[in-house]
Structure 1
Amino acid sequence: MAQTGSATTTRIVELELLRLRTSSNGRGAPVLVRVSDTDGFSGWGEVPGASPGQWESLQTRFAPALLDHVWARPTEAGEAWVDLPWDPSVASALDTACWDLWSRRRHTPLAHALGGERTALTAGVSLSRQRTVESAVREVNRQVGSGFRRVRLEISPGWDLDVVHAVQASFPFLVLQVDAGGRYTESPEHVEALHALDGLGLLAIEDPFSPDDLEAHARLTSELRTPVALYRSLTCLEDVDEVVRAEAGDAVNVDLARLGGLTPARRAVDRAVDSGRQVWCGSSAATGVGRAATVALASLSGATLPVEMPGAGRHGRDVVSPPVRAHDGVVPVPLTESGLGHGVDRRALEGRTAESVVLAPHS
């Protein structure tokens, strides 16, 4: 884990919140957070989809708490909201913004500040369930044609073996994993289907059972050769420790917005790797701000599996420049610029911002 340098204190003197127009995916409105210090340095973070309650909480509780807090290292920023009700995506936005600011102050790439070592990452893409097996194969073909080297298919009981067989028949050398979304139970027919998937050479079977049923995941982990991966079970750093204690899963999907920011996500990667688990960095990010933070996190040496990126056909105008995208299946880690390595494009934000608020300390 990287050393976080000198202990010069930081005080946030301005905190800007920008609520973007509601996305069409039903997750709520993305919110961007900008924090600025006394020397004029700024850092950015993202809430992928904020409910009205989260937007209010950001303004009235989390942001004021950070404005009243002085910290020396970004790992200490979270002490500002430790007594507030846990909200990982809101905490993540502020934590990430503090890491970005701290890195920019030191003219250091965020990836290096976190302890990352890689300069480029293999990219993966996730595909939701398609209407037919044929349409699923066509969509995989589009992503493979764009250079993606790993595809993550959504499956469910009755929509699993046939679609996997069809994709593998068309793309025998594709790295393929499946996301079950907790839709399976330990019923004989469901367990039989999961064991049948075990013989297909998949990279991982993700979240087969309910997120809170670690015992079922542990039993399946002991029975399969294919790694069982966990994602929805992880909503804080302590959940990673519980997964390790339960011996559930062989791999974890670390999403900084679900864990509360870069500080706990970096620790989660370390703890998962120390326990012998494989790691990849998923991303629920709605903008390039969140995706850039994910790339920095995925540059850690322990995050060896492909990082999650938007697929072909999903590129609108990003709010950062240059956009955070995979090129021929590879995502570069920006190492020539400080912080996130991507500047926020204010002109792109103008047409997407529904509401903005600027807050300052009371005294």
Structure 2
Amino acid sequence: MEIKSIVLRHIKMDLLNPFTTSVGTEYDKDFIVVEVKAKSGLSGWGESVSIMEPIYNEETVKTNWHMMGDFLIPLLLKEPIHHPDEVSERFKPIRGNYNAKAALECAVWDLYAREQNMPLAKALGGVKDKIEVGVSVGIQESEYKMLQQIEGYLNEGYKRIKVKIKPEWDVHILKAIRAQFPDIALMADANCAYTLEDIEHLQQLDAFHLTMIEQPLACDDIIDHSRLQAKLRTPICLDESIHTAEDARKAIELGSCKIINLKIGRVGGVTESKKIHDLCVKNEIPMWCGGMLEAGIGRAHNIAITSLANFTIPGDTAPSSHYWKEDIIQPEVVMKDGFILVPELPGIGFDPSITKIDDRTLYSKTFRR
């Protein structure tokens, strides 16, 4: 691959419905779309998952733009790339900034697959032709509204329900869900809302036979999660704590989790995602793909990574219509009977719509060799 230029576009899209977690509410989504243009005439596409405020992690849209433009893109344009795995190696001198790195690396992976005339899923070693789909339900204004939403999602065919929890919105809501839906695959996502002082409180969740509780303790913790897991029957799933395969190795060895949520943006890209996947296979740790309210390009990359064998739990890659009135890809991501088909076309398998992207672009910049 010989990259000719890279285009960054700052996009803004309105969510169909507000999405509330323990750390805040999102009404719209600002993000960066990356287009990597090659001398072959083809383009590869990526999407940054950072938001405007540093409340999920320390990165934001503005810091992503700065890091990509001033540091990462010059490294990427320095010399030709022969294989996408080289991108993460080239970015190693830059510490952290995983979301920014992933957006560029994903675009290179898409370009590589398109130039090889193969689906991205196959280029990654994917084995599935369809993936199971779960859905994430934010904190609602009432118990009734929560139960109503879950019933609607089950009727649509979603294979797993994840509900956001926080102190004072946890035991009673899970009890109500289990009373109405005793047999569904149910998990709770705490987004770091608890501490070790809450062990006895969290032990109450064992009664609800959850598939897992996701990231109950601090975003940078592995040690305390080990202590908590020893006190719970419910499997702990780590999310924010895992940025690298080394983080995953340490968490597994310490017994800090029994499941790992993989987010491509959180771990710096597809190459590191594959390393974490292979480590989890070796240690018999199930995985699933989390969501960051991605638009179609990021959603397509999630579909590709979920095609790998060890993604055995339904992920958060819901169809486009779950979040957006109109997505920026053609065709949009659709779900049937709780499954999304893995595309068979080259690259991510979806065509970004330049018209729709331009209509939502606040500003853009092109970087050339």
When normalised by structure 2's length, the TM-score is 0.90
Partner of 1:322: 331
Matching of residue 137 in structure 1 with residue 147 in structure 2: yes
Using the alignment, how far apart are the partners of 2:305 and 2:156 within structure 1?
A: 24
Aligned 8 A contact 1:256 1:283 in 2: no
Aligned 8 A contact 1:12 1:38 in 2: yes
Partner of 1:278: 286
Structure 1, residues 203-235: CA drift from partner, whole Å, max 9, x if none? 101111113332221122233332111001012
Cα offset, 1:113, TM superposition: 0.6
Partner of 1:34: 35
Using the alignment, how far apart are the partners of 2:127 and 2:101 within structure 1?
A: 26
Structure 1 runs, 4 residues or longer, greater than 6 Å off: none
The partner residue of 1:236 within 217, 232, 244 is 244
Structure 1, residues 258-291: CA drift from partner, whole Å, max 9, x if none? 0001110111111122122110011215211011
Q: Which residues of 2 match residues 1-363 of structure 1 at below 5 A?
A: 10-21=1-12, 25=26, 29-49=30-50, 50-187=60-197, 190-310=198-318, 313-335=322-344, 337-361=345-369
Aligned 8 A contact 1:28 1:51 in 2: no
Structure 1, residues 78-100: CA drift from partner, whole Å, max 9, x if none? 23322123211110011111111
Query: Residue 86 of structure 2 aligns to a residue in which SS?
Result: helix
Using the alignment, how far apart are the partners of 2:164 and 2:314 within structure 1?
A: 17
Aligned 8 A contact 1:23 1:30 in 2: no
Percent identity between the two aligned chains: 29
Aligned 8 A contact 2:5 2:367 in 1: yes
Structure 1, residues 58-82: CA drift from partner, whole Å, max 9, x if none? 2222112211132211101223322
CA distance 1:261–1:27, shift in 2 (3 Å): farther
Aligned 8 A contact 1:289 1:320 in 2: yes
Cα offset, 1:192, TM superposition: 2.1
Partner of 1:4: none
Structure 1, residues 319-359: CA drift from partner, whole Å, max 9, x if none? 11111233332111112x01100011112112101111121
Cα offset, 1:237, TM superposition: 3.0
Using the alignment, how far apart are the partners of 1:63 and 1:184 within structure 2?
A: 38
Using the alignment, how far apart are the partners of 1:329 and 1:26 within structure 2?
A: 26
Query: Residue 283 of structure 1 aligns to a residue in which SS?
Result: coil
Query: Residue 140 of structure 1 aligns to a residue in which SS?
Result: helix
Cα offset, 1:313, TM superposition: 4.7
Query: Residue 196 of structure 2 aligns to a residue in which SS?
Result: coil
Structure 1, residues 87-117: CA drift from partner, whole Å, max 9, x if none? 1111001111111111111111100110110
Structure 1 gaps of 5+ residues are 1-9
CA distance 1:199–1:232, shift in 2 (3 Å): same
Cα offset, 1:164, TM superposition: 0.9
Aligned residue-pair number: 349
Structure 2 gaps of 5+ residues are 16-25, 51-59
CA-atom RMSD in angstroms: 1.8
- Higher mean alpha-carbon deviation, 256-265 vs 30-39, is at 30-39
- Higher mean alpha-carbon deviation, 14-23 vs 122-131, is at 14-23
